[in-house]
Amino acid sequence: MSVSNKVFQFTALLLSFLLLVLSFACSKPTGGNSGGAVKLQGVGATFPAPIYKKWVDEYGKVNPNAQIDYQSQGSGAGVKAAQNQTADFGASDAPMSDEDLKQAKGELLHIPTVLGAVVITYNLAGVSKPLQFSPETINDIFLGKIQKWDDAKIKADNPDATLPANDISVVFRSDGSGTTEVFTDYMTKVSPEWKEKVGPKGKNIKLPEGIGIGAKGNEGVTGQIKNTPNTIGYVEFIYAKQNGLPIAPIKNSTGKFIEPTLETVSAAAAEMLADTPEDLRVSITNSKGEKAYPISSYTYILIYKDQKDAAKGKVLVDFLWWATHDGVKFAQEKDYAPLPSEIVKKVETKLNAITSGGKPLRQ
């Protein structure tokens, strides 16, 4: 073969190789979200963390391009993340106040996702049947007025129980918490003394001097109770259930001791449907229904009505639509009650109104 033929063949091979490299480079995404994974970061409440993490896993099977990470750091962190836009969405058990909303960088929407229960749980040896509590007894325990497990008021709530004379130790949330806000919202409704001595409802709780042990997150409170005899505290239902801790029936506004179940939490929401405002910020604690569990709550995703990034916004809206429709079956498996159908319709309206640059994201 002549030198000129060899040069020609080499040149042809080199051109073919360069064309192949150029074609491969052009086929790959060059940045952003075009043609590749869309990553979303959420921060907030520990209350719904078990169902949110389940939803993220399941939705990843439906839309493999959606890569959603949820960090359960407390409702206070979720509100701040939403206000400051340091995450793609925030999460809070308690709705934001008007003052909180004023600090946001645009119009923030509250998207309820599921219903849950804040429960009273404890660690007390020798008592087989779950203890039940009236609001008056809960008030006196957390204010330090009841200091022994065999106190007459606890005995009155539980006439068949054999109670030890052990000291009671209260455990509470030390971080900004929607679970705390739901609990304190309930307590301010049932006890004028609570409102006077502890203050109005809020994400932080300040018990009387020397009362209680603080722990971070539902996980922290649950762990403290599980590992410390004679303790009592408040956590989201699934944390007590998963750790094998007793869950106390609570006397509701009609005078009946009610266990937290899907049905009794749904009953609390049903009683408040007529009073639910268009922005969906509503309290359902101490609901008047005969079958209503009294410390029930919605939990919310906080999302801007106008999304800065259309690709991220589209995935987020589609995820929330899926979660509140197809994802309901997973919520029930995790002991969260599904939204009432009337609320689902209102959620659909909210999601349909979300835009990016003025264009609706849900087509």
- What is the tens place of the pLDDT at every residue in 66-99? 999 999 999 999 999 999 999 999 999 999 999 9
Cα–Cα distance measured from residue 182 to residue 222, given in angstroms and rounded to the nearest whole number: 17
Mean pLDDT for the stretch of residues 36-45: 95
Query: Could you tell me the domains of the chain?
Result: 38-116+294-360 (3.40.190.10), 117-261 (3.40.190.10)
More confident residue, 15 or 99: 99
Q: What is the pTM assigned to this prediction?
A: 0.87
Instruction: Report DSSP letters for 7-23, one per residue.
Output: HHHHHHHHHHHHHHHHH
Tokens in use for 80? Answer: 């701040």
- Enumerate the β-bridge partners of residue 337: 115
SS3 content of the chain, % helix, strand, coil (to 5): 40, 20, 40
Cα–Cα distance measured from residue 266 to residue 179, given in angstroms and rounded to the nearest whole number: 18
Mean pLDDT for the stretch of residues 27-35: 38
Mean pLDDT for the stretch of residues 317-322: 98
Cα–Cα distance measured from residue 264 to residue 183, given in angstroms and rounded to the nearest whole number: 17
Provide the strand spans (E) within 73-179.
Answer: 89-92, 108-122, 169-173
Bridge-based pairing of strands 38-44 and 89-92 is parallel
Span 239-281, pLDDT tens digits: 999 999 999 999 999 999 999 999 999 999 999 999 999 999 9
Q: Which residues touch 47 (CB under 8 Å, ≥6 apart)?
A: 75, 93, 116, 118, 178, 179, 182, 218, 236, 297, 299
Residue 135 has pLDDT above 60, yes or no: yes
Cα–Cα distance measured from residue 116 to residue 62, given in angstroms and rounded to the nearest whole number: 26
CA-to-CA dists, residue 184 to 173, 181, 281, angstroms: 11, 5, 17
Place 351 in a pLDDT band, splitting at 50, 70 and 90. Answer: very high
Contact 198, 140 (CB under 8 A): no
Cα–Cα distance measured from residue 197 to residue 194, given in angstroms and rounded to the nearest whole number: 5
Residue 30 has pLDDT above 60, yes or no: no
Residue 32 has pLDDT above 60, yes or no: no
Bridge-based pairing of strands 355-356 and 359-360 is antiparallel
Q: How many CB atoms lie within 10 A of CB 313?
A: 25
- Which residue has 């719904």 as its token pair? 48
Place 104 in a pLDDT band, splitting at 50, 70 and 90. Answer: very high
Cα–Cα distance measured from residue 221 to residue 173, given in angstroms and rounded to the nearest whole number: 7
Provide the strand spans (E) within the chain.
Answer: 38-44, 66-72, 89-92, 108-122, 169-173, 213-215, 231-236, 250-251, 257-258, 296-304, 355-356, 359-360
Per-residue model confidence (pLDDT) at position 35? 54
Tokens in use for 65? Answer: 């391009």
